[in-house]
Structure 1
Amino acid sequence: MKLIRSAVMLSAIAVVPAAQSDVLGFGASIGYWDSDLSGKSSKGGDRVNVENELDLSNNTEANLSAFLEHPVPLLPNVRLSYVKVDQTGRGELDNGYDNIPAGASVDSSLDWRQTDLTLYYEVLDNWVNLDLGLTARDLDAKLEIVDVADLTRSTTEVDAVIPMVYAAARFDLPLTGVSVGVNGNVISYSGDSVYDYDIYGQYAVAGLQLRAGYREMAVDYEDGDDRLDIDIGGPFASVGFSF
């Protein structure tokens, strides 16, 4: 894979300090993300601005996550997360794109699916919490553009499994249930880059967690003749539990 070699990523996880949880723990959450889209899509030598020309806007989204932490030495903890973004719009092309002429009125849709498997260690676990690890991201993003006049259809798609460095930090205000934190994944290699992060405030009581903040994802990735250089960002809110 073009982004980075698996052997390099696996060797990197071996140097992470193995400070594990003292007990078995599990948690899950579901959230809503009110995101805006910007950036460009390219196919061959053609390029389109997804915000200004396609006028894509939020349609439906789903954000799910779950984690399992354990006290077994050396074995990493596990986190799974899933993001679904559907955006649609009608716009007008400034320039020709993949056999659709300049000036054409087009209907467009972005279908974004991403599943993350993260293996991580708890480096700090008190009022300051720090997790470090690696994420394997299965990304399937498809942008479809249809000429309203003659139904000529263009599809630009990125389908890849991307290894990323993962880090998460949380700072708890003792005895209040209030905390602030940041989570992030990032990789950059040979002209391609992928990152996402979220910054949040959280209130937890009796295992229930209410969280709100800001999340942003950026992908600049080439898959054959198709390239997506897209940024998705906006506020989010979630509810979860842990025990």
Structure 2
Amino acid sequence: MRKLILAFGGSMVLAAPLASADVLGVGANVSYWDSELSGDVVNKGSAVDIENDLNLSSDSNANFTAYFEHPVPVLPNVRVNYASISQNGSGQIGLEAFDGILPGTDVDSELDIDQLDLTLYYEVLDNWVNLDLGLTARKLDGELIVRETFVGGRVSETTVDAVIPMGYLAARFDLPFTGVSVGGEGNLISYSGDSLHDFNVYGQYEISLLQLRAGYRQMSIDYEDDDDKMDVELSGPFASVGLTF
């Protein structure tokens, strides 16, 4: 399968460190994302509308993030993020056949997307305005299974599998003496006809070690892997709870 890989060596110098954490910092959070799904999936030249034809609906969208920050200016900070998106539904193939399944056929479908991010970043600003810049390597695994509903019916499987480099940006603005802040973060790449972006904006409240966050997230995947292609978008509100040390 076609892989899109970027070597990190030498690239990190583009994000020259201008600030660093005063002390060691460790944090983690878990979140739930209530997302709506739209777009198309292509298998060997035939396409299906995953919203209107397959009627996919959210089953579970879980997200886990952990980070480690340190006071060594030369070395980047580290952030790891894992997202698991699972959607299923029952629908009907549209006016054109999809991977050998005839138009008008009743089908059951499952869409699973797993993402594992490793982000190396620097703190460019670290006061009431916080700004991080870095690079992310995203391991993307996506699979759409479409089954004809009758016994012995045809089963179609569409998969994408890639390691994708992305730019990383995070900004946060702290309101003095309140524990309240607003911010946003995102990853982005567009290369050779493929493009991915993953952005969120949020409001946050911190009390002692506890961090509460709520906001809106949008993710778009337009990626082709051999004869399989996913062109999907997910968006909706999210909420998270975390601990910082």
Structure-2-length-normalised TM-score: 0.96
- Residues 46-92 of structure 1: per-residue CA shift (max 9 Å, x gap): 00000000000001121100000001121000000110011000000
1:171 corresponds to 2:176: no
Contact 2:3 2:163 in 1 (8 A): no
User: For structure 1, which segment, 17-26 or 101-110, has the greater mean C-alpha deviation from structure 2 after superposition?
Assistant: 17-26
Q: Distance in 2 between matches of 1:32 and 1:189?
A: 30
Q: Note the residue ranges of structure 1 that are not aligned, 5 or more in a row.
A: none
| 1:1-243 alignment, distance < 5 Å | 6-7=6-7, 10-18=9-17, 19-94=19-94, 95-149=96-150, 150-243=152-245
Percent of residue pairs identical:
56
Distance 1:210 1:230, change over 3 A: same
Shift of 1:17: 2.4
Structure-1-length-normalised TM-score: 0.96
RMSD over equivalenced CA pairs, Å: 1.4
Contact 1:221 1:227 in 2 (8 A): yes
Q: Which amino acid aligns with 1:133?
A: G
Residue 23 of structure 1 aligns to a residue whose secondary structure is coil
Q: Distance in 1 between matches of 2:60 and 2:5?
A: 34
Q: Distance in 1 between matches of 2:231 and 2:80?
A: 25
Shift of 1:15: 2.3
Contact 2:20 2:123 in 1 (8 A): yes
- Residues 85-137 of structure 1: per-residue CA shift (max 9 Å, x gap): 11000000112011111110000000111000000000000000000000000
Residue 6 of structure 1 aligns to a residue whose secondary structure is coil
Shift of 1:12: 3.2
Distance 1:241 1:233, change over 3 A: same
- Residues 159-204 of structure 1: per-residue CA shift (max 9 Å, x gap): 1010000000000001000000000000001100011000000000
Residue 122 of structure 2 aligns to a residue whose secondary structure is strand
Contact 2:3 2:162 in 1 (8 A): no
Q: Which amino acid aligns with 1:139?
A: L
Q: Which amino acid aligns with 2:102?
A: P
Q: Distance in 2 between matches of 1:187 and 1:140?
A: 17
Contact 2:6 2:164 in 1 (8 A): no
Q: Which amino acid aligns with 1:93?
A: I
Contact 1:3 1:188 in 2 (8 A): no
Shift of 1:3: 7.8
Q: Distance in 2 between matches of 1:37 and 1:59?
A: 12
Q: Distance in 2 between matches of 1:222 and 1:168?
A: 28
Q: Distance in 1 between matches of 2:244 and 2:9?
A: 29
Q: Note the residue ranges of structure 2 that are not aligned, 5 or more in a row.
A: none
Equivalent pairs, count: 242
Q: Distance in 1 between matches of 2:121 and 2:73?
A: 12
Residue 11 of structure 2 aligns to a residue whose secondary structure is helix
Contact 1:3 1:187 in 2 (8 A): no
Shift of 1:44: 1.6
